[in-house]
């Protein structure tokens, strides 16, 4: 088995046992990235010091020094997370030259455990998209078929892992942006409970929804990364004080005594036959593993997308006000054409620096927050959000986890939905509600469509009940044994 075919757990073990050197591992993934990035555009920026850092790890190990559990293993970081000394763009022109002076808490913890940041992955601009087509740095492509999207907004992270350009990646999930691309690219993606992972140093899109999570080849890999990046952080007042369990050590495919709920609203019209078939098979696997299947209802599901696109755009309108071209980021060429006044200065910087989708969402949010409309839109959305959360709490009185499709269809073709914002937004119908309720969710590979495109299965749990969710994913993974499947582009 070649280096790039190994998963995170195998690579960590090999480094710790001195069977592989970090330099060899890092070089293998850098070589794969050099070969495939022109085809996939999964990375925006590579870490030029990755090999140097890998050699440092090898020296420490050779000297007998104690190293972290992720020592010497490269991990890709979504360009939404600040990385000290490495350009961080959020996929936007307005941050084309931004090099942070500090790293996000997630990156600090990964590097503190010995991991090496291999590069910054492509994404929808400011995480606003479901296909990684809105990035200022070009479209990212699905490794399973380059005519298709990899999902979004963490499409670059999903594509990089799927194409063996990194053994592991970090994404962010505001309305499904870890789970949906994991679903489209045939990998595991986990969104922890809101507050489980610090948001410090993550470029803010919608602060009450954003959460970073791991994307990898196996449930165990993702559980391991969750253990590293989770925990209270005084720099993020929303981070929870919950203890961090040893999820990876407690994984089991024995689901006896576990109740799995099937929300009837997630199996309505519009779900493709391919997706239905894959999800039904996952349900049968869970039954065979001992789980009891029960029917539940989430009656406000149909309002999830509308509520999400009000709450998220309102928060985005506020968060993105800081990008004005004064202190950092893109600034228009005022030497060639001086600004008429302050309004002209701001409007030109922001008008030229933001892409069309970001401008659309800023305008939607600004409108909904404006005088005379706040109560009718934002306040009402927050009230419905509370009721939607209660729907989930009621459902979890009848079951331990929920199982559903991650999306209504497999990946769609590049350009197919980009001109139809409503159709694109509806792509998130099965993922946004999880963020609105602050729940953990994940996507685990469940099979393939008739066109050989990956299809994932979504699993959701109650707040801070990630272990139950991970165990269901682990049982499905063990039964199907899809972790070694590779896209054609890799061969």
Cβ(210)–Cβ(197) below 8 Å: no
Same-domain status, 163 and 21: yes
Residues pairing with 116 in the sheet: 74
Helix boundaries (H) for 186-249: 219-229
Same-domain status, 369 and 434: no
**CA 275 to chain CA mean position, Å:** 21
- What positions carry a catalytic annotation? 78, 153, 177
Tell whether 286 is covered by a domain: no
Same-domain status, 374 and 432: no
**Residue 327, Cβ density class (10 Å: 0-12 exposed, 13-18 middle, ≥19 buried):** exposed
Residues pairing with 461 in the sheet: 401
Expressed in angstroms, the distance from the first to the final Cα of the chain is 13
Same-domain status, 79 and 183: yes
Tell whether 61 is covered by a domain: yes
Helix boundaries (H) for 3-162: 8-16, 22-40, 50-62, 105-112, 155-162
Q: Virtual CA dihedral for 390, 393, 398, 401, nearest 10 degrees?
A: 130
Tell whether 378 is covered by a domain: yes
Q: What is the DSSP letter of 227?
A: H
Tell whether 213 is covered by a domain: yes
- The per-residue pLDDT of the chain, averaged, comes to 97
What does the alpha-carbon distance between residue 15 and residue 184 come to, in Å, rounded to a whole number?
Answer: 31
Same-domain status, 123 and 241: yes
Residue 71: closest CA among 85, 86, 54: 54
pLDDT of residue 303: 97
CA distances from 346 to 167, 252, 339, 368, 405 (A): 42, 55, 9, 21, 43
> b/e per residue, 99-113, with b = 16+ CB within 10 A?
ebeebbbbbbbbbeb
Confidence of residue 269 (pLDDT cuts 50, 70, 90): confident
Tell whether 186 is covered by a domain: yes
Q: What are phi and psi of 154, to 5 degrees?
A: -85, 40
Helix boundaries (H) for 102-256: 105-112, 155-162, 179-185, 219-229
Same-domain status, 239 and 101: yes
Same-domain status, 25 and 169: yes
Q: Which two tokens stand for residue 460?
A: 């959701």
Cβ(178)–Cβ(213) below 8 Å: yes
Q: Give the pLDDT confidence of 43-90 residue by residue, as tens digits.
A: 999 999 999 999 999 999 999 999 999 999 999 999 999 999 999 999
pLDDT of residue 132: 98
Tell whether 22 is covered by a domain: yes
Tell whether 53 is covered by a domain: yes
Q: Which helix (H) or strand (E) holds 354?
A: none
What does the alpha-carbon distance between residue 352 and residue 94 come to, in Å, rounded to a whole number?
Answer: 8
**CATH number for the domain harbouring residue 120:** 3.90.1300.10
Q: Give the pLDDT confidence of 90-100 residue by residue, as tens digits.
A: 999 999 999 99
Q: Give the pLDDT confidence of 447-462 residue by residue, as tens digits.
A: 999 999 999 999 999 9
Confidence of residue 206 (pLDDT cuts 50, 70, 90): very high
Question: Where does a domain end: 322, 349, 383?
Answer: 383
pLDDT of residue 488: 87
Tell whether 288 is covered by a domain: no
Same-domain status, 254 and 139: yes
Q: At what angle do helices 22-40 and 50-62 cross, to 10 degrees?
A: 160
- Tokens 């969750």 map to which residue? 226
What does the alpha-carbon distance between residue 80 and residue 193 come to, in Å, rounded to a whole number?
Answer: 19
What does the alpha-carbon distance between residue 402 and residue 295 come to, in Å, rounded to a whole number?
Answer: 10
Same-domain status, 376 and 403: no
pLDDT of residue 491: 81
Residue 321: closest CA among 366, 356, 352, 355: 366
Q: How do strand 454-461 and strand 401-405 relate by DSSP bridges? A: antiparallel
What does the alpha-carbon distance between residue 345 and residue 329 come to, in Å, rounded to a whole number?
Answer: 14
Confidence of residue 325 (pLDDT cuts 50, 70, 90): very high
Same-domain status, 254 and 357: no
Helix (H, G, I), strand (E, B) or coil at 214: strand
Same-domain status, 419 and 349: no
Q: Give the pLDDT confidence of 45-56 residue by residue, as tens digits.
A: 999 999 999 999
Cβ(216)–Cβ(161) below 8 Å: yes
> b/e per residue, 413-443, with b = 16+ CB within 10 A?
ebebbbeebeebbebbbbbbbbbbbbbbbbb
Question: Where does a domain end: 323, 354, 383?
Answer: 383
Counting the structural domains of the chain, the total is 2
Question: Where does a domain end: 383, 417, 437?
Answer: 383
Which residues, in sequence order, are CB contacts of 302 under 8 Å at separation 6+? Answer: 265
Q: Give the pLDDT confidence of 332-378 residue by residue, as tens digits.
A: 999 999 999 999 999 999 999 999 999 999 999 999 999 999 999 99
Helix (H, G, I), strand (E, B) or coil at 341: coil
- Tokens 């009848």 map to which residue? 398
Q: Give the pLDDT confidence of 388-433 residue by residue, as tens digits.
A: 999 999 999 999 999 999 999 999 999 999 999 889 998 899 999 9
How many CB atoms sit inside 10 A of residue 338's CB?
9
**pLDDT(198) > 90:** yes
pLDDT of residue 70: 98
Determine the structural domain holding residue 341 and report its residue range. Answer: 302-383
What does the alpha-carbon distance between residue 358 and residue 134 come to, in Å, rounded to a whole number?
Answer: 9
């Amino acid at each position: 088995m070649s280096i790039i075919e190994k998963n995170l757990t195998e690579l960590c073990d090999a480094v710790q046992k001195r069977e592989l050197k970090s330099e060899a591992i890092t070089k293998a993934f850098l070589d794969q990235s050099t070969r495939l990035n022109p085809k996939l555009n999964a990375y925006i920026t590579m870490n030029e010091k990755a090999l140097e850092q890998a050699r440092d790890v090898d020296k420490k190990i050779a000297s007998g020094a104690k190293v972290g559990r992720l020592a010497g293993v490269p991990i890709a970081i979504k360009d939404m997370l600040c990385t000290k000394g490495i350009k961080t763009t959020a996929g936007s022109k307005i941050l084309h030259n931004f090099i942070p002076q500090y790293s996000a808490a997630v990156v600090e913890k990964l590097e503190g455990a010995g991991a090496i940041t291999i590069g910054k992955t492509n994404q929808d601009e400011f995480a606003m998209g479901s296909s990684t087509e809105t990035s200022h740095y070009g479209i990212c492509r699905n490794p399973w078929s380059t005519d298709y999207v990899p999902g979004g907004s963490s499409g670059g992270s999903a594509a990089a892992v799927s194409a063996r350009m990194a053994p592991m990646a970090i994404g962010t999930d505001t309305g499904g942006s870890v789970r949906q691309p994991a679903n489209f690219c045939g990998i595991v993606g986990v969104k922890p409970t809101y507050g489980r992972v610090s948001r410090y140093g993550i470029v803010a899109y919608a602060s009450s929804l954003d959460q970073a999570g791991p994307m990898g080849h196996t449930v165990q890999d993702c559980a391991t990364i969750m253990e590293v990046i989770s925990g209270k952080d005084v720099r993020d007042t929303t981070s929870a004080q919950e203890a961090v369990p040893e999820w990876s050590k407690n994984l089991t495919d024995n689901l006896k005594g576990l109740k799995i709920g099937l929300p009837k609203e997630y199996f309505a019209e519009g779900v493709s036959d391919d997706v239905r078939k894959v999800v039904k098979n996952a349900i049968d696997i869970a039954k065979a593993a001992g789980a009891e299947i029960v029917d539940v209802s989430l009656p406000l599901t149909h309002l999830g997308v509308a509520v999400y696109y009000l709450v998220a755009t309102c928060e985005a309108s506020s968060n993105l006000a800081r990008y004005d071209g004064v202190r950092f980021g893109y600034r228009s060429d005022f030497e060639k054409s001086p600004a008429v006044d302050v309004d002209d200065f701001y409007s030109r910087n922001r008008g030229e620096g933001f892409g069309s989708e970001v401008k659309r969402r800023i305008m939607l949010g600004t409108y909904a927050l404006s005088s005379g409309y706040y109560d009718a839109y934002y306040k009402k959305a927050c009230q419905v959000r509370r009721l939607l959360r209660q729907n989930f709490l009621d459902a979890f009185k009848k079951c331990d986890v929920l199982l559903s499709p991650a999306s209504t269809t497999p990946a769609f073709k590049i350009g197919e939905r980009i001109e139809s914002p409503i159709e694109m937004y509806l792509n998130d119908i099965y993922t946004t509600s999880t963020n609105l309720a602050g729940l953990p969710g994940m996507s685990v590979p469940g099979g393939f469509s008739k066109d050989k495109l990956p299809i994932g299965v979504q699993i959701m749990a109650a707040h801070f009940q990630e272990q139950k969710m991970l165990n269901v994913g682990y049982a499905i993974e063990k039964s199907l044994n899809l972790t070694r499947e590779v896209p054609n582009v890799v061969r």
